[in-house]
Amino acid sequence: MTTLSTSLPTSDIDPFSKEYLFNPYPFHQKLRGLGPVCYLNKLGVYVVTQYQYVKEVLNQPLVFCSGAGVGISNFKKEAPWRVPSMLLETDPPDHTRNRAIISKVLSPMVLRGLKAQFEIEAHRLLDELLEKRSFDVVKDLSEAYPLKVFGDAIGITPFEREKAILYGNMVFNTIGPKNDYFAEAMSHAEEVIPWINGVCQRANLSKTGLGIQVYEAADSGILTEAETTTLVRSFLSAGIDTTAHAISNAIFSFISFPEQWEKLKENPQLIKPAFEEILRFESPFQTFFRTTTVETQLGNFTLPENEKVMLSLGSANRDPLQWENPNEFNILRNTQGQLGFGNGIHGCVGQMLARTEVDALLTVMLKKVKSMRFTGEPKRLLHNTLRGFETMSVEFN
Amino acid sequence: MPKLHFIHPNGQTTSLDAPIGKSVMNICRDYGFSEVIAECGGAALCATCHVYVDENQSDMFTKPNEIENQLLEFVASEKKATSRLSCQLLITENCDNLRIYFPIQQI
């Protein structure tokens, strides 16, 4: 049982409740108002919601570690459901070595080369969708596009590739507690886990993709073959669902605020900052955890050792102490420092790839799509840590 | 505060006072220097915040780590011994009169 300093604020808010997941922003505001750190009574964890302190925690990776898991489950207390990620759930020095392997594969030169392929698929897909006119953004665009371009770039088989979405769903939902969302995600485990392990094997990766290059680490003896397979798995854990939700959130925001779409059409050089604003305004990845490795101070409060600390990127990205009119979607804003890709040594290693994918898609959309509208009420996805949609019926012209 | 001198490709110099703890990249952004892009916002992932540190002043900063060295292979302008990613250069009290040279291009 932890001993709390008497002045550390507490709250009964449940950040994994249906109400919070549907619309977290009023809850974020309450939690930010309580102070730099707060204890959540229902979950028995600490939570950090202010921008300054979220960033501070992210930049102290040895004090606030990832090796004990980045979900609410503490790997020092209970076994993880899968072999821990060698990137996400690992600390320096192993993390440093593993990340260097991946960042070498995702070099700027490689990404520049991929952009052309991404635009070709964006053209093809948008032509198809404009022919249909009415479709579901989530299935037909947000998921279809990364499954194709990212899957091809990594070099995984097209066979049953949509299982990658189910796998990503498991990875991100299990960051939360064992609630209904967790259970639903894990109900697909039997069909998905063998698939993911299979597609990441050396023999099953395309000779010209990015995944096979990671096996160089095995060949040079830095990692074992099994470790390399786990490292390749990180691409598929992190690289599809998040991008898909970013695309859905982009389209939702542009249809909801059409004057921003008009601004973008008039100023296509704003594509990059517009995507940063999407990530700030509706962060696809809202919540994850760190674990304290020592007793430590955060904003004058003492946190005990071996405690879970929840970080709300979604809240930090709307903190009025950091952003002017934070609840306004404004592609002209200065988004420097937005935390949608995290920060520090664990900041998303695939972020340039994600930016390249969405850049290509928005570039082609600006050329081809004159207008967009909802043809029904978008159905919000309720997910422990991701923010996006289950379905979004639209008409594109 | 340490004084920094930024030498632009056209030969002009901009001198300014730099806050301790800030990265050279963020200082460039704050002052709107178009010579630094920093697509990844300082995450050491894009190689578009490339600068040259005065050859006599490299000791003002810790040597590049493996990841920075990897990325320096991809800078768009000539890579020199003085090349650094400005997002990795944090200003300290030792940085007074630091001279930073901008490359011609970042992409």
* 3-state SS, one letter per residue, for chain B: CCEEEEECCCCCEEEEECCCCCEHHHHHHHCCCCCCCCCCCCCCCCCCCEEEECCCCHHHCCCCCHHHHHHHCCCCCCCCCCEEEHHHCECCHHHCCEEEECCCCCC
Contact A352 B71 (CB under 8 A): no
Chain A residue at shortest CA distance from B38: A336
Chain A residue at shortest CA distance from B48: A108
* Sequence-distant (≥ 6) Cβ neighbours of residue A94 within 8 angstroms: A86
Mean pLDDT by 10 residues, chain A (397 residues): 70 98 98 98 98 98 97 95 93 94 92 95 98 98 98 96 96 97 96 95 96 92 94 93 98 98 96 97 98 96 97 98 98 95 96 97 97 98 98 98
Q: What is the pLDDT of residue B21?
A: 94
Q: Which of B45, B71, B85, B107 to mutate to test the interface with A (most CBs of A within 10 A)?
A: B45
Q: What is the pLDDT of residue A128?
A: 98
Torsion of the alpha carbons at A130, A388, A334 and A108, rounded to the nearest 10: -70
Burial code (b: 16+ CB inside 10 Å, e: under 16) for B69-93 equals ebbbebbbbeeeeebbbbbbbebee
Q: Which residues of B touch A337 (CB under 8 A)?
A: 41
Contact A108 B71 (CB under 8 A): yes
Chain A residue at shortest CA distance from B106: A108
Helix (H) or strand (E) holding A291: strand A287-292
Contact A352 B29 (CB under 8 A): no
Calculate the alpha carbon distances from B21 to A72, A202, B25, B66, B103 in Å.
33, 44, 12, 22, 23
What is the layout of strands, in order, in the sheet containing A10-11?
A: A10-11, A38-40, A45-48, A308-312, A287-292, A64-65
Least CB–CB distance from B47: residue in A100, A108, A349: A108
Q: How far apart are CA B36 and CA A339, in angstroms?
A: 21
Q: How far apart are CA A29 and CA A166, in angstroms?
A: 32
Contact A109 B71 (CB under 8 A): no
Residue A370 and residue A395 in contact, taking contact as beta carbons nearer than 8 Å? no
Q: Which residues of A touch B47 (CB under 8 A)?
A: 108
Torsion of the alpha carbons at A353, A354, A357 and A358, rounded to the nearest 10: -150
Least CB–CB distance from B70: residue in A100, A337, A349: A100
Q: Which of A352, A356, A357, A359 to mutate to test the interface with B (most CBs of B within 10 A)?
A: A352
DSSP string across A134-201: EEEHIIIIIIHHHHHHHHHHHT--STTTTHHHHHHHHHHHTTS-SSHHHHHHHTTHHHHHHHHHHHTS
Q: What is the pLDDT of residue A4?
A: 52
Q: What is the pLDDT of residue B67?
A: 87
Q: How far apart are CA A352 and CA B48, in angstroms?
A: 12
Radius of gyration of chain A (CA): 21
Counting one residue from chain A and one from chain B, the pairs whose CB atoms sit within 8 A come to: 43
Q: How far apart are CA A273 and CA A334, in angstroms?
A: 8
Place of tokens 């808010």: A13
Q: Are strands A301-303 and A308-312 parallel, antiparallel or unpaired?
A: unpaired
Q: What is the pLDDT of residue A218?
A: 84
Least CB–CB distance from B74: residue in A108, A336, A338: A108
Contact A104 B29 (CB under 8 A): no
Residue A246 and residue A274 in contact, taking contact as beta carbons nearer than 8 Å? no
Lookup: tokens for A116: 């052309």
Radius of gyration of chain B (CA): 12
Contact A272 B39 (CB under 8 A): yes
**Cα A391 to the center of its chain, rounded Å:** 19
Contact A107 B66 (CB under 8 A): no
Least CB–CB distance from A103: residue in B26, B39, B70: B70
Q: Which of A103, A110, A345 to mutate to test the interface with B (most CBs of B within 10 A)?
A: A103
In this prediction the ipTM stands at 0.88
Place of tokens 């990658």: A164
Contact B41 A336 (CB under 8 A): yes
Least CB–CB distance from A104: residue in B29, B41, B70: B70
How many angstroms away from the CA of A347 is the closest CA of chain B? 7
State what percent of residues in chain B have pLDDT above 90.
95
Residues 48-87 of B with CB under 8 A from A: 48, 66-67, 70-71, 73-74
CA atoms within 13 A on the CB side of B19: 9
The pLDDT tens digits for B10-64 are: 999 999 999 999 999 999 999 999 999 999 999 999 999 999 999 999 999 999 9
The pLDDT tens digits for B54-102 are: 999 999 999 999 889 999 999 999 999 999 999 999 999 999 999 999 9
Q: Which residues of A touch B39 (CB under 8 A)?
A: 272, 352, 355
Q: What is the pLDDT of residue A117?
A: 96
Contact A351 B67 (CB under 8 A): no
CB of B105 less than 8 A from some CB of A: no
Helix (H) or strand (E) holding A395: strand A393-396
